[in-house]
């Protein structure tokens, strides 16, 4: 029993690690209000939570409310409270009570609370050093008196305070350039401050779990959905300004906004450090692969004309992905590796394979099963794609039974045809032209070893084939020095080379000498000389490639810690020697393992509904470096 408890604790601690790495050095703005400000136990847990965040390197800025305290004091003083259009009218006397309470007693109480927990809080209001410059808020048809709207945040000074190691606790009171003090809505103040700081996250602590629909928490909310729920009066009252302030923050650089229940203990930590979260997160838009502004190209191996390939969320090649997409995918991979979740429950994936496969087939089948979906493997002999019946008909029929087609085909054009006629996502599980899923897993492997950084040199030794093509596509996303050494006549397709060069992202060299490519490389990558479908050329290829073997001599030219990579299957003794595959610098079997983790992220990104909250909830670390032997290769 005791051991199980410890195990659980250990799991909790280690599952938080990716999030800690991800958020270190970033800024979180927290709007503190409601029950979390009045209940003693909740106050304590809030103070501990923000202190913990600060201690692990997150810059925390608190903006607090305190409307009840203002009302209480006004009543004690026998003052009348006037409401205009449902909002408090701030006359001169009310403003005095606002300053006395918000910038006075309430602010100091929060500061004392946080400091008792060790949080180094410093109390401020918007008047201090013109932190919040404001002007009179004048909505159409209302006069709210001395209520202000923020014109400017003294962000330079705020950043200096943060850099000095303190936690600013800000009362929402502003001042105009001519010295008039204004009462400011705390939600709007928090949103403006988060925007000015370019905060990673903005939290609103409310007294409900978040946005509720039929009693159920809505975990993720886009603007379109929020406006719909406001119309349907699902989102009402005080939640409306919060939701609107959230979208304004998102439109102006804040990465994510969370509405969480301040009335539940440690909701802040649970929202940040668990995948499931406990509140509603407000996001910009539904996430899909591909930036619509990015020029897209398609390839036809037999026809030079570009074709449209990405009308829906297919993964046919890597040109559909932006750097952010790749980063998101890797973060999601981290999450799915550490979490047992089933975002694809009820879905069905069809695997349609014209060529043999071990890794791709098994990793997709296992990924599907681990994500809660079902799959069916169809070998082409039984289907006769384009022979027994047209590709378009197969696409339409499979679309009516399943939710995704993962296809391994010879001709890339057939894949394009399949995608064009399928109404469900199509994933390229390898064609003669490209192997995008492989390269995504390979990039993840490189990142695991801490090598995905500026200056990365990848030497691709061997055939300018499908795998090399996908590396070229990746070089148009991630900056790298990609040196491809291949014998004359076996260079990559000039069209894709041109695409990669035109992107201007990476340095690309096509070389005839593997030794030049390998020189000081951080990664030595190879693939078979004879790919599936080229068996008739085997003898000629062996001859042409004989000096392109990855062996001890070649590896000695690379960086001593260079990773040795191969997508597998390998023809040991041809493109790579046993000692290279089995050397301590080889990450070849980890590449194979990572196919599973990355396939899970690919399928989740393409198939999980936004409400399932998977491709948004994420974002743990940029990478968790593996311990890799620092000693030079021994071969």
Active site residue 125: no
Q: Which of ligand CP, ligand NVA, none has residue 451 at its interface (CB below 5 to 8 Å by kind)? A: none
- Does 438 participate in catalysis according to the annotation? yes
Residue 346 vs residues 116, 218, 374, 477: alpha-carbon distances, Å: 50, 20, 8, 34
Per-residue DSSP letter, 318: G
Confirm or reject binding of residue 358 to ligand CP (CB under 6 A). Answer: yes
Is the Cβ of residue 401 or residue 589 nearer to ligand CP in the bound state?
589
| Residue 435 annotated to the active site | yes
- Which residue lies nearer to ligand NVA by CB, 27 or 549? 549
Q: 275, 331, 361, 408: which one is catalytic? A: 408
What residues pair up with 348 in beta bridges, in sequence order?
Answer: 374
Catalytic, 567? Answer yes
Helices (H), 80-200: 92-98, 107-116, 155-163, 186-197
State the minimum distance, in angstroms, from the CB of residue 426 to ligand NVA: 18
**Residue 127: C-alpha distances to residues 90, 132, 145, 151, 331 (Å):** 17, 6, 18, 13, 41
* Largest Cα span, the chain: 99
Q: Measured from the CB of residue 528, what is the shortest distance to ligand NVA in angstroms?
A: 5
Select which of 258, 435, 447, 559 is catalytic.
435
- The tokens for 227 are 């406006």
Contact pattern from residue 375 through residue 404 relative to ligand CP, giving x for each residue in contact according to CB under 6 A and a dash for the rest: ------------------------------
H or E element: which one contains 526?
strand 523-526
Helix ranges, 122-222 (H): 155-163, 186-197
Minimum separation from the CB atom of position 470 to ligand CP (A): 11
Interface with ligand CP, residue 438, by CB under 6 A = yes
3-state secondary structure of 352: strand
Q: Compute the least distance from the CB of residue 361 to ligand CP, in Å.
A: 6
Task: Out of 27, 97, 192, 360, point to the residue binding ligand CP (CB under 6 A).
Answer: 360
C-beta closer to ligand NVA: residue 209 or 432: 432
Smallest gap, in angstroms, from Cβ of residue 586 to ligand CP?
15
- Select from ligand CP, ligand NVA, none the partner in contact with residue 591, using the beta carbon and a kind-dependent cut-off of 5 to 8 Å: none
CA-based R_g, the chain, Å: 29
**Residue 101 touches which of ligand CP, ligand NVA, none (CB < 5 to 8 A by kind)?**
none
Instruction: Write out the residues near ligand NVA by the rule CB under 6 A.
Output: 430, 465-467, 527-528, 531-532, 567
Q: Which of 330, 297, 290 is nearest to 313 (CA)?
A: 290
With beta carbons less than 8 A apart as the criterion, state whether 516 and 459 touch.
no
The yes or no reply on residue 568 touching ligand CP (CB under 6 A) is: yes
Q: Are 202 and 31 in contact (CB under 8 A)?
A: yes
Task: Say what the alpha-carbon torsion angle 394, 400, 402, 403 is, to the nearest 10 degrees.
Answer: 110
**Distance in angstroms (rounded) separating the CA atoms of residues 590 and 619:** 22
Angle separating helix axes 107-116 and 40-55, nearest 10 degrees? 60
234 binds, among ligand CP, ligand NVA, none (CB under 5 to 8 A by kind): none
Q: Which of 45, 267, 319, 357 binds ligand CP (CB under 6 A)?
A: 357
Distance in angstroms (rounded) separating the CA atoms of residues 16 and 18: 6
Stretch that binds ligand CP, among 50-58, 140-148, 182-190, 356-364 (CB under 6 A): 356-364
Q: 60 or 385, CB closer to ligand NVA?
A: 385
- 263 touches ligand CP by CB under 6 A: no
| Beta strands 167-171; 121-125: pairing state | parallel
Contact 467, 438 (CB under 8 A): yes
List 275, 481, 595, 597, catalytic entry: 595
Q: Nearest distance from residue 567's CB to ligand CP, in Å?
A: 4
Which of ligand CP, ligand NVA, none does 358 bind, CB closer than 5 to 8 A by kind? ligand CP
What is the distance of C-alpha 357 from the center of its chain?
30
CA atoms within 13 A on the CB side of 349: 32
Q: Tokens at residue 42, please?
A: 């909740």
Contacting residue, 567, 588, 603, 635, with ligand CP by CB under 6 A: 567
Nearer to ligand CP, 385 or 567 (CB): 567
Residue 359 interacts with ligand CP (CB under 6 A)?
yes
Interacting stretch for ligand CP, rule CB under 6 A, among 124-132, 143-151, 357-365, 508-516?
Answer: 357-365
End-to-end CA distance of the chain: 48
Give the one entry of ligand NVA, ligand CP, none that residue 222 binds, where binding means its C-beta sits below a cut-off of 5 to 8 angstroms depending on kind.
Answer: none
Q: Is residue 352 part of the contact set for ligand CP (CB under 6 A)?
A: no
* Cβ-proximal residues to 459 (8 Å cutoff; 6+ apart), any chain: 483, 484, 485, 514, 517, 518, 519, 521, 523, 524, 525, 558
Chain residues 32-91 in contact with ligand CP, contact rule CB under 6 A: none
Residue nearest to ligand CP (CB): 360
Closer to ligand CP by CB, 234 or 568: give it: 568
Q: Cβ of residue 412: shortest distance to ligand NVA, in angstroms?
A: 12
The site partner of 88 among ligand NVA, ligand CP, none (C-beta below 5 to 8 Å per kind) is: none
Q: How far is the CB of 531 from ligand NVA (least distance, A)?
A: 3
Instruction: State which residue, 361 or 541, has the beta carbon closest to ligand CP.
Output: 361
Q: Which is nearer to ligand CP, 272 or 588 (CB)?
A: 588
Name the binder of 43 from ligand CP, ligand NVA, none, CB < 5-8 A by kind: none
Closest alpha carbon to 96 in 78, 73, 113: 73
d(CA 29, CA 253): 13
Count of residues in contact with ligand CP, rule CB under 6 A: 10
**Which C-beta is closer to ligand CP: that of 36 or that of 437?**
437
| 396 vs 416: CA distance, rounded Å | 14
> Which residues of this chain interact with ligand CP, rule CB under 6 A?
357-361, 430, 438, 567-569
Annotated active-site positions, please? 408, 435, 438, 527, 567, 595
């Amino acid at each position: 029993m005791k051991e199980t408890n410890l195990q659980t604790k250990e799991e909790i601690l280690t599952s938080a690690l990716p999030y800690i790495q991800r958020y270190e050095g970033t800024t979180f703005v927290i709007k503190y209000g409601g029950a979390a400000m009045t209940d003693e136990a909740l106050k304590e847990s809030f103070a501990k939570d923000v202190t913990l965040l600060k201690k692990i390197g997150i810059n925390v800025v608190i903006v607090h409310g305190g409307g009840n305290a203002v009302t209480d004091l006004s009543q004690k003083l026998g003052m009348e409270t006037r409401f205009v259009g449902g909002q408090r009218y701030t006359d001169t006397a009310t403003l005095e009570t606002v300053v006395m309470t918000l910038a006075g007693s309430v602010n100091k109480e929060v500061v004392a609370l946080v400091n008792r927990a060790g949080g180094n809080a410093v109390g401020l209001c918007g008047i201090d050093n013109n932190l919040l410059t404001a002007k009179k808020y004048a909505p159409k048809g209302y006069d709210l008196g001395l209520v202000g709207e923020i014109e400017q945040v003294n962000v330079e000074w705020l950043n200096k305070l943060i850099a000095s190691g303190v936690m600013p606790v800000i009362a929402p009171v502003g001042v105009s350039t001519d010295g008039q003090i204004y009462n400011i809505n705390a939600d709007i103040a928090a949103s403006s401050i988060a925007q000015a700081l370019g905060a990673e996250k903005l939290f609103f602590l409310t007294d409900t779990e978040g946005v509720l629909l039929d009693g159920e928490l809505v975990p993720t909310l886009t603007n379109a959905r929020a406006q719909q729920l406001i119309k349907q009066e699902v989102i009402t009252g005080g939640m409306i300004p919060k939701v609107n302030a959230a979208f304004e923050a998102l439109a102006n650089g804040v990465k994510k906004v969370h509405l969480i229940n301040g009335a539940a203990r440690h909701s802040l930590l649970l929202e940040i450090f668990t995948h499931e979260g406990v509140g509603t997160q407000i996001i910009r838009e539904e996430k899909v692969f591909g930036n619509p502004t990015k020029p897209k190209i398609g390839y036809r191996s037999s026809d030079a004309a570009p074709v449209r390939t990405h009308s829906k969320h297919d993964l046919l090649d890597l040109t559909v992905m932006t750097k952010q997409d790749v980063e998101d995918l890797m973060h999601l991979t981290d999450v799915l590796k550490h979490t047992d979740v089933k975002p694809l429950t009820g879905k069905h994936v069809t695997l349609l394979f014209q060529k043999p496969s071990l890794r791709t087939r098994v990793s997709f089948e296992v990924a599907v099963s681990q994500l809660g979906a079902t799959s069916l493997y169809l070998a082409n002999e039984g289907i006769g794609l384009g022979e027994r019946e047209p590709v378009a008909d197969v696409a339409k029929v499979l679309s009516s039974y399943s939710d995704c087609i993962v296809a391994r085909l010879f001709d890339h054009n057939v894949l394009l045809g399949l995608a064009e006629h399928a109404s469900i996502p199509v994933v390229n599980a390898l064609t003669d032209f490209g192997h995008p899923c492989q390269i995504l897993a390979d990039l993840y492997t490189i990142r695991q070893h801490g090598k995905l950084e500026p200056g990365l040199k990848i030497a691709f030794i061997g055939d300018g084939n499908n795998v090399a093509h996908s590396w070229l596509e990746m070089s148009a996303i991630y900056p790298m020095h990609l040196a491809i050494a291949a014998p004359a006549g076996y260079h990559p397709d000039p069209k894709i080379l041109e695409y990669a060069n035109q992107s201007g992202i990476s340095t690309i060299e096509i070389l005839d000498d593997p030794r030049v490519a390998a020189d000081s490389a951080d990664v030595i990558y190879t693939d078979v000389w004879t790919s599936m479908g080229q068996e008739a050329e085997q003898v000629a290829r062996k001859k042409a490639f004989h000096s392109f073997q990855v062996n001890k001599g070649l590896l000695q030219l690379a960086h001593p810690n260079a990773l040795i990579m191969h997508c597998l299957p390998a023809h040991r003794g041809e493109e790579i020697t046993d000692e290279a595959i089995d050397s301590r610098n080889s990450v070849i079997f980890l590449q194979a393992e990572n196919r599973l983790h990355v396939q899970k992220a690919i399928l989740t990104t393409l198939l999980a509904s936004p409400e399932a909250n998977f491709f948004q909830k994420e974002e743990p670390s940029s990478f968790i470096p593996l311990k890799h032997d620092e000693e030079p290769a021994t071969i």
